[in-house]
Structures are given as C-alpha cells and as structure tokens.
Amino acid sequence: MCTIEAIVMEENVRYWVDLSDYDFETAAAMLRSKRYLYVGFMCHQTIEKILKAYLVVTSGIIPPYTHNLAFLSEKSGLSELMTEDQKSFLDKIEPLNIQARYPEYKEKLLKELSAIKCKNLLAQTKLFQKWIKQLLSTK
C-alpha cells in the first residue's frame, strides 16, 4: 500500500529528475548555438539536480539549497560509490556554476571552452546522469 509520504517522495524525485533532463536538453541546445559558457553552466545544473534526486531517495529529505556538488554527493552517500574519474568530473564542473554567473570569470572561462571541450563535457554529463538514473531505478 502506498503512503502519502511515499507518493510525495516519488513526486519530489520525479521533479528533480525532470529538471535535470530539462537542463541537459538546454546544455545541448547551448552547444548547438555555440553558447559555450552556458554549456558548462547547464551541465553543472544537470548534475546538481540529479544529485538532489538521489539525495531525496537516500535520505528522504528535501535537498538543501546548495550548488555544491561534492556536498550533495557526500550527503547522499553517492561519493562512496563513485570512481576516481567520476569524482574528477565533479571537480571539473563544480566551478562552472559560479564562473558562468560572474563577469570577472566569464572572459577567462570563454577562452577555455571550445566546441570540442563542450562536446566532451556534455558527453560526460550524460554518462554521469545516466549512471545516477540507473541507481535510482534500483531504489
């Protein structure tokens, strides 16, 4: 029998997964339109939101208001399951949230992001998101 709490939790997880999917689609659109600064930003958002979905499942709490990917992965217990490559990926995209927002970082970041780098970033984001979705399906 389903409880109200279980239904609410399932809706909360679906909310975060749907937002993650939407942000990934936005990142892909930004790549197609060559808006490379926002590819990185939206990849960060994609991962942040899928981590929040995982946190809801593992803790039963509403995710805290934070953009810190390492914090979210640790709080949910996901960091214990992650490979070194996955941890390295989170380290790589962590600053893209802040750097895309503030003018003093934008110029530097724009010089670092190219079509190839953004394509790779998008591919890594998709793999990481898919991995977490697979974990969610087993919970």
- CATH number of the domain bearing residue 87: 1.20.120.330
pTM of the model: 0.89
Residue bearing tokens 């600053």: 95
Q: What is the pLDDT of residue 138?
A: 86
Q: Is the pLDDT of residue 92 over 80?
A: yes
Which residues are CB-neighbours of 98 under 8 A, at least 6 positions away?
A: 67, 105
Least confident of 78-87, 89-98, 119-128: 89-98
Q: How many domains does the chain have?
A: 1
Rounded percentage of the chain residues whose pLDDT exceeds 70: 86
C-alpha 37/C-alpha 21 separation (Å) is 19
Radius of gyration of the chain (CA): 15
Burial group, residue 107, by CB count within 10 angstroms (0-12, 13-18, 19+): exposed
Q: Which domain holds residue 29?
A: 4-137
Q: Is the pLDDT of residue 20 over 70?
A: yes
